[in-house]
Structure 1
Amino acid sequence: MVSWSEINLLDLLRSVVDILLVTYVIYKLIMVIRGTKAVQLLKGITVIVVVWFLSSLLQLKTLNFIMTQAITYGVLAIIIIFQPELRRALEQLGRGRFFSRELQEEEIRKQAIEAIVKATTYMAKRRIGALISIERETGLNEYIETGIPIEAQITSQLLINIFIPNTPLHDGAVIIKDGEIKAAACYLPLSESPFISKELGTRHRAAIGVSEVTDCVTIVVSEETGAISITKNGEIYRNLTEERLTELLELNWLNQTKSVSGLRWNWRGKNNG
């Protein structure tokens, strides 16, 4: 005969598994829409829900009625608005990638870092100017939209070819997202900081500028000196060697889920322009 304690234990285990599965599915859905305009729409929906709850709590009948109608008929609107993201999620589920994406990301990033470092070193030796931004947690879609779509695998040959002088795509930034070159010839916001060294040009100001408003990592190759620099959190670290560039990319992109405070700690007082 099954005791009440056994029944309660089974119910508890079932509830825990249920909550964990729902949490994981929600997490995966957030990962799918991360870096897209859907994130801003999701914030708007959150505001509507909060206003609805407060209006109900404070018994603001007119406002509560309006919010209730917005939520009731908003389900169809959400399906329409999020249609690209929902379609992408279903495609990933059909390819079996929905639950195995993390297993692929690390290997893709390792190959990408190798290609980026190889291309950067090649261009530095030949004083070919370059500007490469790598998306992390904050989406760069608004800057991707200013450039020419590429959507290509990251290879050193392609990066070098993009930045060859007097070619259509060399002027501007390459933006990397999800292990791909998403776009080239992108416009990045210029920093207006008065503390930037006067010897730094537009590429460096753009690299610092985008790092002030996002958490991306941006690599710069100087056309004048061939020096390699990297920017993050509004700071620039200059005259990097090939080994140091690889180390910083691994620290701040490959292992971005870990602590990234080492960038400031390791470079405090060194080559900070």
Structure 2
Amino acid sequence: MQDIAVMLARYLPKLALPQVGITDVIEIALISFFVYQFMVWIKFTRAYTLLKGILIVLGFIFIAYVFQMSTILWIVKNLSTVLITAVIIIFQPELRKVLEQLGQKKIMSAIPLFDTSKEVQERFTDKTVNELVKACFDMGEVKTGALIVIEQNIRLTEYERTGINVDAVLTSQLLINIFEHNTPLHDGAVLVRGNRIVAATCYLPLSDNMELSKQLGTRHRAGVGISEVSDSLTIIVSEETGQVSVAKGGKLSRGLTSAQLREALVKAQNKKVVDNGKLRHLLKGRAKHEQ
């Protein structure tokens, strides 16, 4: 024990601790802010799925490096420039969008520590849930086909661009009018973001799942297809039978009742109460402690 104390007394004075100044603190805060914004951007785009694929490739390269697989390392080394360019091209829409959002943000409110509000966070309101349920089953009674895509975490901007901009508050009357036979907007999908219909006549990718029933038409395959490439919830009203179906995660649930559809929408609503007054509570607790 005495030897340890002597060793510490001999070497501790020689340790040079880094000098931390105001500039270093500001630099750390800025880096933390931009890393946080990058993580939020990744979470709310399809880039998250692409990023997981890139991480798998990097893991494969790391294994090749550990085991000295020279041929694979040579291929990666010679293709590195091409791969970096390919990543930039793949992420181009998301990169452009995040820069636009960064320019529109209020910097202080974007930092969670300084956001002092308390709010109920939900993707859409209970009124929107009621309007969706009413519209779907009203259309089902008269066998009016409908395809409604409800956006969740992953933005569906690329599919929104294929349709006609609507940007209107979602109501059952508006949905029924859009999907009415022989109207200009009835063909294609309606895209819902929050409490608004953002676009109609949108084109969706068709599912190539061979397990889907051959009786299902293009509308159902499109509903399943968009659920395979995103986390969206898609409601399909059959024009032949009037049945209401829901596609989520590549799986199709057919013949839903109004209660079952409401349950799926409430789950997608993701309602929660968030208290953002972190800085306020922190300062209040500190003042109380000092008193």
TM-score bracket, shorter-length normalisation? 0.5 to 0.7
Deviation of the 1:23 alpha carbon: 5.5
| Cα-Cα RMSD | 5.0
Describe the shift of the 1:178–1:41 C-alpha distance in structure 2 as closer, same or farther (beyond 3 A): farther
1: CA distance between counterparts of 2:240 and 2:214? 14
Describe the shift of the 1:195–1:92 C-alpha distance in structure 2 as closer, same or farther (beyond 3 A): same
Deviation of the 1:133 alpha carbon: 0.9
Deviation of the 1:138 alpha carbon: 2.6
- Select which of 159, 172, 181 maps to 1:143: 159
Does 2:148 match 1:132?
yes
Q: State the SS of the aligned residue for 1:103.
A: strand
The structure with more radius of gyration: 2
2: CA distance between counterparts of 1:200 and 1:83? 38
Task: Give a deviation string over 1:175-233, Cα, whole Å, max 9, x none.
Answer: 12244222110111111222211221111111111112222111000011110000112
Q: State the SS of the aligned residue for 2:128.
A: helix
Cross-structure match for 2:258: 242
Query: Whose relative contact order is higher, 1 or 2, with alpha carbons under 8 Å and at least 6 apart?
Result: 2
Aligned residues: 237
Identity %: 43
Cross-structure match for 2:106: 93
Task: Give a deviation string over 1:97-124, Cα, whole Å, max 9, x none.
Answer: 9867993542733332222112112111
Q: State the SS of the aligned residue for 1:115.
A: helix
Work out whether residues 172 and 186 of structure 1, in 8 Å CA contact, stay in contact via their aligned partners in 2: yes
Describe the shift of the 1:217–1:37 C-alpha distance in structure 2 as closer, same or farther (beyond 3 A): closer
2: CA distance between counterparts of 1:166 and 1:136? 30
Please give the TM-score of this superposition, normalised by the length of structure 1.
Answer: 0.63
Describe the shift of the 1:200–1:42 C-alpha distance in structure 2 as closer, same or farther (beyond 3 A): closer
1: CA distance between counterparts of 2:125 and 2:29? 28
Work out whether residues 136 and 256 of structure 1, in 8 Å CA contact, stay in contact via their aligned partners in 2: no
Work out whether residues 151 and 182 of structure 1, in 8 Å CA contact, stay in contact via their aligned partners in 2: yes
Give ranges in structure 1 of 5+ residues lacking alignment.
1-10, 12-17, 47-66, 68-80, 258-273
Describe the shift of the 1:85–1:178 C-alpha distance in structure 2 as closer, same or farther (beyond 3 A): farther
Give ranges in structure 2 of 5+ residues lacking alignment.
1-19, 21-26, 56-79, 81-93, 273-291
Tell me the amino acid that sits aligned with residue 256 of structure 2: L
Listed as ranges, the matches of 1:225-236 within 5 Å are 225-236=241-252
Cross-structure match for 1:215: 231
Tell me the amino acid that sits aligned with residue 120 of structure 1: C
2: CA distance between counterparts of 1:226 and 1:163? 13
Q: State the SS of the aligned residue for 2:124.
A: helix
Does 2:269 match 1:254?
yes
